[in-house]
């Protein structure tokens, strides 16, 4: 009885992971919308001040270990100066915390510049996206819990090292190589830091996959559905000719061959 239930559960899971026809497009559309909404909510609503402080303190200690001349230097406000609708929403959400969107600052005396670990520096953009994918992907509940735990631990530790590397490289370029104020940050943060974050996200996704939550399968369904949509669109616009079915032709050829083999009357 137990094996039968397990087999039925496996069949159901396979059907959920590989939807066909109209079900694929419905799942693709709904899952994508849910992932976008969940990512925004998970990233903007919780107060990540504790993570900002942990990241700030850890990065500070890492820089001190490598003998960078850094000190704590007051606080930085995360409030958006813009009056746009999105900036207003962000300011309302960040004002709900108990620290008034203030985050501690690390100052490099040698480079004479300040670095603030704000919400965007916590790695929770990628974390929110991965958690949203875990939630919408069909998988066992405890596998999802395990995947979330391992991925977040790896993400937080990896982010500590990334932030320390970006600050250390910025200071080194500016002080040791005479790079300008803005170019030093551009080379460290954009040229080095962003690719590290991108490949790090792929690595965290593989950790999640290893725990039995196939989030890459969900992404592949999105991509496949997108290609199907563009193919349909191109056909409707007359940019591409619709492929004719080959099976009826094969049947006709087969019938023709059979007729040729029949003896004459």
What number is the average pLDDT over the span 161-166? 95
Q: What is the pLDDT of residues 13-54, one digit of tens each?
A: 555 567 777 888 899 999 999 999 999 999 988 888 889 889
Please name the residue that has the structure tokens 């982010």: 159
Closest CA to 57 of 12, 117, 7: 117
Q: Which SS3 state, helix, strand or coil, does residue 244 take?
A: coil
Residue 92, judged by CB atoms within 10 A of its CB (0-12, 13-18, 19+), counts as exposed
Residues 6+ apart with CB under 8 A from 143: 211, 212, 213
Q: What is the pLDDT of residues 96-124, one digit of tens each?
A: 555 656 788 999 999 999 999 888 889 99
What number is the average pLDDT over the span 182-203? 93
What number is the average pLDDT over the span 66-90? 75
For residue 107, what is the DSSP state?
Answer: E
Tell me the two tokens of residue 151.
Answer: 């991925």
The pTM assigned to this predicted structure is 0.77
Q: What is the pLDDT of residues 122-136, one digit of tens each?
A: 999 999 999 999 999
What number is the average pLDDT over the span 2-8? 45
Rg of the chain's alpha carbons, rounded to an integer?
Answer: 27
Q: Regarding beta strands 70-77 and 113-116, do their DSSP bridges make them parallel or antiparallel, or are they unpaired?
A: unpaired
pLDDT band, very low/low/confident/very high, at 264 (cuts 50, 70, 90): low
Closest CA to 64 of 154, 178, 167: 167
What number is the average pLDDT over the span 211-229? 92
Please say if the pLDDT value at position 11 is more than 70. Answer: no
Residues 6+ apart with CB under 8 A from 164: 58, 59, 62, 63
Q: Which SS3 state, helix, strand or coil, does residue 102 take?
A: strand
Task: Please tell me the predicted confidence (pLDDT) of residue 173.
Answer: 95
């Amino acid at each position: 009885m137990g094996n039968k239930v397990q087999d039925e559960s496996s069949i159901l899971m396979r059907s959920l992971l590989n939807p066909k026809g109209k079900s694929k497009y419905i799942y693709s559309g709904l899952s994508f919308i849910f992932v976008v909404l969940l990512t925004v909510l998970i990233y903007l609503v919780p107060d990540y001040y504790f993570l900002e402080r942990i990241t700030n303190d850890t990065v500070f200690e890492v820089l001190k270990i490598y003998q960078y001349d850094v000190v704590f230097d007051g606080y930085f406000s995360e409030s958006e100066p813009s009056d746009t609708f999105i900036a207003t929403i962000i300011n309302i959400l960040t004002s709900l915390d108990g620290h008034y969107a203030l985050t501690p600052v690390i100052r490099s005396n040698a480079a004479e510049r300040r670095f603030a670990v704000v919400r965007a520096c916590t790695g929770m953009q990628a974390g929110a996206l991965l958690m949203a994918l875990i939630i919408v992907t069909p998988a066992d509940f405890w596998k999802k819990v395990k995947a979330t735990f391992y991925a977040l631990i790896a993400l937080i530790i990896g982010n500590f090292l990334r932030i320390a590397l970006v600050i250390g490289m910025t200071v080194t370029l500016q002080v040791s190589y005479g790079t300008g104020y803005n170019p030093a940050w551009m080379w460290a943060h954009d040229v080095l830091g962003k690719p590290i974050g991108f490949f790090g996200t792929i690595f965290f996704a593989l950790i999640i996959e290893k725990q039995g939550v196939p989030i890459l399968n969900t992404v592949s369904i999105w991509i496949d559905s997108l290609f199907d949509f563009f193919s349909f669109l191109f056909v409707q616009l007359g940019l591409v000719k619709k492929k004719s079915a080959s099976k009826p032709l094969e049947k006709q050829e087969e019938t023709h061959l059979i007729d040729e083999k029949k003896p004459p009357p």
